[in-house]
Structure 1
Amino acid sequence: MARRPPPEDDDVSLFPFLSIICAIIGVLTLMIAAVTLGQMNQDDVKEAVENAIAMEQIQKELAATEDAVEEMSIQLDKEKAKLLDNAGSRQNELVKSRAELEALIKQLADTKKKTEEQKKIKIVIPEIPQGQRETVADMQTKLSTIKERLALLQRNLDEKKKPPEEAQVSILPGGTGLSFTPNFVECTASAIVLHTEEPPLLIRNAEIAANPKFVALLEKVANDKNQTIIFLLRSDSLGTYRIVKKLCDDNNVRNGKLPAVGNGRLDLRHFRK
């Protein structure tokens, strides 16, 4: 049997060489990576940065959108609850209205029933004896009597509606001036009334002296010996009479006076016969 040769003392270990080779390979790998990074396009780097920024902005907008969606969901839940409450109220109103309608229908049915019962009631009119019955002639006689009474009442009512007749104050001739033709001037508290005019003319106290109608009357009487002025004095006309009396006396105008008792319309027909 062959024998194994003894080991030689001159064998060399390969481990140090393998370590050096691995180190060289690592250095080469780093060098290749550095060269590759150095040769990368700057635009690609910028685009990558912009994409990262855009992605961050999109994430922010997405978060804001999610918040808005959540808020809208809460609002919708509130609206839904409100609608449910309104629906409940309407349902209650509907139930109430239906109950009222049923009550009205029942009331109508009761009314119809009572009406039908009343229709069934027979009206019995007691018979009046022949001698107590009122004839058409009797009715016409009563109608004529009623019409006469109405006519009488209407006449009485018309008489009451008529305004009261104005009282008249009659002026009667008297004194020593009957031979003169009178020109009547009525004196009141604040004015005179010329009955020589048609219709009678009222002149206030402040305008008497300058009134052309009164001045013309003074001239007429002063220039005619058959004319005179007769002042008709009301109960409150003393002050007015003094004014016109002085004007006549100052101008030598013939004048006189007669009382007019009362407040009625003056009646001068006794002087016009």
Structure 2
Amino acid sequence: MAKRRHKGTDEILLIPFLDILCSLIGVLILIIVVLCVSQSQQTKGRTPEEIKMAQEYKDMLKELKEREKLQQLVIEKLAKLKEVQKNLEDKQLRFVKLRKILDSSKELKEQNKEISQKLQKELDDLLTEIDGIGRQQKDTQKEIELLAAELKKRQVPPDKKVPPVVVQPSGSGMADTTKVYFVECSSGALKVLGAWGEDYRLAATPSVVVADVAYNHFLSEVGKDKNSLILFLIRDDGQGAFNTGAGRAEADYSIRVGKLPIPGRGQLDLALFDKYRGKISAPPTPGTAAPTPAEKKS
């Protein structure tokens, strides 16, 4: 018998299935990209190690504040104990004087019977007060010992040092011709890091930044190279110092500046920038007039 041929409509078409599969893969890729971008924005571009160090720094600040409170409480307790001891000594001295009066001759006692009764009553009151002060002194001393033990337990071990902060280039890197100079910004101060072989620190007030000879020499020399970049490393409390120092460099000397937030208080490690770091000549001796932007252009 002849085999029956299948009609064209009986064939299985895979094209709709492949379309659905490709669409599903595209949606998954889009979700992954969105999650990566969202995670990067939440951490502000910081690495997990930097976030961990920043959290440890916050915990350490909290611990230091608690230790300061405990130490202040111990000082107050010690002052109170000293006052109690002085009061006790005064009471004991008075007790001795009253005892001498009571131990005087019988004739004097009879003549001063009324006074003696008052003194006896006062003596009893003093004994009661001395007993109460003694108990209070013991309680205070015990509380001071507990606070001292707690303070000792909270002390940071001498061998536990703050880890260094490794400064890493951000973005896709920089050109090989770029010369990078670093300025650390902290509370009320700027520090030029090794631009001429050693660090230089100055106050971050507008009057000092404008008149400081070494800092303006630094800006003048860096401004001569169009490929130069001053990277300001901003500590947690250094935003004001950055505004003053970077404003002078950018507005008056037309120098390209960048900024990089630095978490924690560890020492800065700039090893990853070694091949980009620039060097300038040492600043003039103190007493020389500070360079100005006008002199730089001439």
Superposition TM-score tier, normalisation by shorter sequence = 0.3 to 0.5
> Which of the pair has more CA radius of gyration?
1
Between the two structures, name the one with larger relative contact order (CA 8 Å, sep ≥ 6).
Answer: 2
Instruction: State TM-score, norm by structure 1.
Output: 0.39
